[in-house]
Amino acid sequence: VDPDLIKKICAFDDRTIARAASLIEDRSTGYLDLLQSLYPLTGKAKIIGITGAPGSGKSTLINSLVLELTKKSQSVAVIAVDPSSPITDGAVLGDRIRMKAASEKQKVFVRSISSRGQRGGISLALADLIDLFDAAGFNYVIVETVGVGQVEVDIRNLVDLLLLVMTPGMGDEVQALKAGILEVADVFVINKSDLAGADILNAILRSTLPASKEWVDQDNIIKTVATSAEGVYDLLTQIEGYFLRASTIRIEQRIKTLADKRILDEALLIISDLLVSSKLSAERLTLLDQCASKQLHPGLAAKSILKSLGIK
């Protein structure tokens, strides 16, 4: 890898970072060499996940948070994961416009990615992108994801700190959330606190949160009005406090767990690529005939294919 490229990335050169991000997202030729060059530089950024239902105000909140961070001369990279839209979609564009106030400040980089069409799934692409921004030297990397299904659970090991954004009127849904995201989120943001019902949600949350949560204290439920930045200063204070208290051991453990998961996911991806490769197609066709005519069980056919790959 051209050392000049790494230099430019670490100098926050916008266009170089954007190009590197595309290369990494698309897994184009040379992407892995680039990531290998960057990987030893990672491990310094504070990585925050912000999840919550669509429309709960995540992007608006991130916008205010980024402004607050830039006031403290902190550099921030934001990755907005949109579940369905391609990059040109209105929803993502909306995000971008709302982010603009922050983006105009120095050392803020915003990237939107679609959760569809990523080879190997969104988690691998996200992990690699986070590495890019971490290596570049951004103080904070903020990942916005919509909490649907497993996504919020997958985000857990990608980030050091996970924020769940909720809105008044969600009280009834809190019980349903209990088993999933409530267990893994570190900070609970009641956004749109200007609307009726914020106090009720606050009370429900306080009585529902698992007592076993490692980071629970009085302040891990925070009320905000993202549109006017109310409460955002307190939120940042809480975030900073979290990183001050967070033990290196805990973060190292997370990175190890993540690395293990990434190795497995990458290996599965390589195997599935091999399985559909032309090299094996003749053998698969033979096995397919045997399976279709009920001579051979598909499970045994699978074993036979793996044997050809040298995997017993």
Ligand X SMILES: Nc1nc2c(ncn2[C@@H]2O[C@H](COP(=O)(O)OP(=O)(O)O)[C@@H](O)[C@H]2O)c(=O)[nH]1
Please give the residue ranges that form the binding site for ligand X (CB under 6 A): 52, 54-60, 191-192, 194-195, 225-227
Question: Residue 149, exposed/middle/buried by CB under 10 A (0-12, 13-18, 19+)?
Answer: exposed
Instruction: Kindly tell me which of 20 and 76 has the beta carbon lying closer to ligand X.
Output: 76
Q: Residue 189 and residue 201: Cα distance in Å, rounded?
A: 11
Q: Residue 29 and residue 254: Cα distance in Å, rounded?
A: 29
Least distance in angstroms from the C-beta of 119 to ligand X: 26
Instruction: Kindly tell me which of 59 and 115 has the beta carbon lying closer to Mg ion.
Output: 59
Mark 186-215 with x for binding to Mg ion (rule: CB under 5 A) and - for no binding. ------------------------------
Position 59 contacts Mg ion (CB under 5 A): yes
DSSP one-letter code for 121? -
Instruction: Kindly tell me which of 59 and 167 has the beta carbon lying closer to Mg ion.
Output: 59
| Residue 21 partner contact from Mg ion, ligand X, none using kind-dependent CB cut-offs of 5 to 8 Å | none
Q: Residue 291 and residue 300: Cα distance in Å, rounded?
A: 9
| Residue 191 partner contact from ligand X, Mg ion, none using kind-dependent CB cut-offs of 5 to 8 Å | ligand X
Instruction: Tell me if residue 310 falls in helix, strand or coil.
Output: coil
As given in the structure block, the two tokens for residue 55 are: 């429309």
Position 60 contacts Mg ion (CB under 5 A): no
Distance of CA 182 to the CA centre of its chain: 17
Position 145 contacts Mg ion (CB under 5 A): no
Q: Which of the stretches 14-22, 27-35, 37-45, 57-65 binds Mg ion when contact is defined by CB under 5 A?
A: 57-65
Distance of CA 103 to the CA centre of its chain: 20
H-run or E-run covering 79: strand 76-82
How many CB atoms are located within 10 Å of the residue 39 CB? 14
| Residue 54 partner contact from Mg ion, ligand X, none using kind-dependent CB cut-offs of 5 to 8 Å | ligand X
Instruction: Kindly tell me which of 12 and 109 has the beta carbon lying closer to Mg ion.
Output: 109
Instruction: Kindly tell me which of 17 and 142 has the beta carbon lying closer to Mg ion.
Output: 142
> For residue 79, which phi and psi values (nearest 5 degrees)?
-115, 115
Q: Where along the sequence are the contacts to Mg ion (CB under 5 A)?
A: 58-59, 95
